[in-house]
A and B are shown apart, each in its own frame.
Chain A
Amino acid sequence: MDIAVSLERVWKVYRQGQRSARIGDLLRNLLRPQVLRVEALRGVSLEVRRGEIVAYAGPNGAGKSTTIKLLASLLAPDSGQVRVLGMDPVRDRVRYVGRIGVVFGQRTELWWDHPVAASFDWKRVVWNIPRERYERMLGLVRELLGLDEFMNALARELSLGQRMRADLAMALLHEPEVLFLDEPTLGLDVLARRNILRFVREVNRERGLTVVVTSHDMDELEQLAGRIVMLHRGNIAFDGDFASLRREVSDRRVLLLETPAGGAAPVLVGAERSGGENGRHEYVYDARQVRLSHLLEQAAAQTQILDVETHRAPIDGLVADLYERWQREPR
């Protein structure tokens, strides 16, 4: 198995100063501030195969951005080992960053007062990209991300969606082997988001690019990645595919029944009615607990069924339930 990214028992602890808002604590705040030990990563071990897209998720403060910074060579672990493409990101920084791409959703690598094309040319020189490779990759990103409409616009005049497309394109110009995306679709509209996701999938399929992506949008991650790693309080709480995650949390489904208008909604044991009107009734049930045929039998026994629809509940809702469950767990 060809491993591109490996974290082995990685610990990262921050010290966070706590200040009381009471004027009476002024001296204590100055001289002996309280320090909170925040364990961002607690012995995390993880491997990502070459060519894999891995979604890295978790509630706020779970340690996602810390991991991306460790992988991007911007942070050193307190203990444990980080290896990407066989290199130590911090120790081999110069050689290493020439082989990876990083995009932070809330930052930009573009030159603010220059056209996008100038930033690309800057990248070519600083990264010392051979002309042939540069032209090839530029052609690819221009086409897939539709950059032509704003190549000559100043970076500071771009819309958020355009800027993100340009940033993503720039991260790929040197043809990196691994791409780290930290919330790349933050604040984007649905179309811009879809374009970005489509592009990442395309580059992964065509070039075998390894991608580690963080986001809070679970539906988006499910569209993009085959595997999801979920962090909770600095530990990996789940590592598997999305189908397994659904099974892990609850295989919640939505059942829509259409019955003659004006009739009462059937009462289904094992399903909860979540809404409906004019003969359309919506129920939610856990497919692990109750079988659909059982629910339909119950409904048919109570009224005439005109139509039936079922679909999986959006994963966002499932994950929110999971986060809620985690929050209730004692520390």
Chain B
Amino acid sequence: MAADDAHPLARLPRLWALYARMDLLFIARGMKTAFSWYFADLLLALGSAAWAFLLAARFDGIGVWSKQQVAFLLGLALFVRGVIDFALNANIYSPSRRIGRGQLDHMLLMPQPLWVTIASDGFMPFSCSGTLLAGAAVIAWSVQALALPISAGWLALLALHVLSAGVIMLSFAYLWGSLAFFAPRGAEEINTTTTRLIEQLKPFPLDGVGGGLSLLLLSVVPAGFLAWLPSRVLIGLSDSSWALVATPLAALVAALLAIAVFRLGLRHYGRTGSTRYLAHGHRR
């Protein structure tokens, strides 16, 4: 028997090291692959944020936000997306695909809790760090342009908000992606739509948005928590203690909700099993 007596958490560093090694071998199999991978990622990342920045440049800011502040918001949005790409790739961030394609079965056949698989299986630090690097570069430039005072406390706040925003994005994906438990074929690509929706809404300052709409963007489609609210805190546009804890609190609620819904779906999956299997390999 090959059981592991260590706590599942203790497995994670070992698994991350494994997936990082595999990812490095994958990206380093040829110069053409490595170059095109990074170049395409970088281009896509910058392209997805360019429209908001061009607007800000043309009108010298958006609402109360200066051009540099908009750049920070865009950088943060890219960075959060980069963390997801980096740590939760290979369709871990698109659970509807794994469920709809029958590949959840592969995850269930691994001798570890499902959450350990979710936390490790999509770790691709070498091939999927283009967006993260682009986000870090834009944040660094805007921090300098805004002359923000960087301290250990500020960096910790940044880390907390990046983590919280990542948890909200992941929870949003799992809340909607769990529909695939009930309609595997119909909902297989639902995460493509939810990702597109959230990606289009998050790099935008929501200050001028009306009460009803902003409530919507801070609940049902939580785009406001992913870059706008954290940016307000980090660049000093909000100094209320409520704004400080809003994103981490929202992350907690979203995570609890997503876990509950996913478990409900998983129970259903146990009753019906997977009715289809697409030969996309192990988990692509």
Question: Which residues of A come within 8 Å of B, CB atoms?
Answer: 14, 66, 69, 72-76, 78, 90, 93-99, 102, 106-114, 118, 121-122, 125-130, 133, 155-156, 174-175, 177
Do residues A73 and B108 form an inter-chain contact, with CB atoms below 8 A? yes
Do residues A108 and B281 form an inter-chain contact, with CB atoms below 8 A? yes
Q: Which residue of B lies closest to A118 (CB)?
A: B22
Whole-angstrom CA separation of A121 from B2 in the bound complex = 14
Given A90-B270, A94-B112, A112-B281, verify A74-B105 contact (CB < 8 Å).
Answer: yes
Report chain A residues within 8 Å CB of B156.
Answer: none
Cross-chain contact of A109 among B11, B106, B270, B277 (Cβ < 8 A): B106
**Interface majority SS on A: helix, strand, loop or mixed?**
loop
| Beta-carbon contacts under 8 Å, B95-123 to A | 102, 105-106, 108-113
Report chain B residues within 8 Å CB of A78.
Answer: 271
Cross-chain contact of B26 among A108, A114, A133 (Cβ < 8 A): A114
Report chain B residues within 8 Å CB of A177.
Answer: 1
Whole-angstrom CA separation of A98 from B109 in the bound complex = 8
> Shortest CB–CB separation between residue A118 and chain B, in angstroms?
6
> Shortest CB–CB separation between residue A135 and chain B, in angstroms?
14
20 further A-B pairs in the complex, CB-CB below 8 A; given A97-B108, A106-B279, A128-B11: A73-B108, A75-B270, A94-B112, A96-B111, A97-B109, A98-B4, A98-B111, A99-B2, A106-B277, A107-B279, A111-B22, A111-B281, A111-B282, A113-B26, A114-B22, A114-B26, A121-B18, A125-B18, A126-B15, A127-B111
Given A75-B273, A122-B18, A122-B22, verify A128-B282 contact (CB < 8 Å).
Answer: no
| Beta-carbon contacts under 8 Å, B17-70 to A | 18, 22, 25-26
**Interface majority SS on B: helix, strand, loop or mixed?**
loop
> Shortest CB–CB separation between residue A61 and chain B, in angstroms?
13
Whole-angstrom CA separation of A114 from B22 in the bound complex = 8
Cross-chain contact of A113 among B112, B113, B270, B284 (Cβ < 8 A): B284
Do residues B270 and A114 form an inter-chain contact, with CB atoms below 8 A? no
B274 at the interface (CB under 8 A from A): yes
Given A73-B108, A110-B282, A112-B282, verify A98-B2 contact (CB < 8 Å).
Answer: yes
Do residues B273 and A74 form an inter-chain contact, with CB atoms below 8 A? yes
Do residues A98 and B1 form an inter-chain contact, with CB atoms below 8 A? yes
**Of B4, B18, B281, which is in contact with the most chain A CB atoms at under 10 Å from its CB?**
B281
Residue interface bits B252-284, CB-to-A below 8 A is 1, else 0? 000000000000000000111110010111101
> Shortest CB–CB separation between residue B5 and chain A, in angstroms?
9
Whole-angstrom CA separation of A155 from B272 in the bound complex = 30
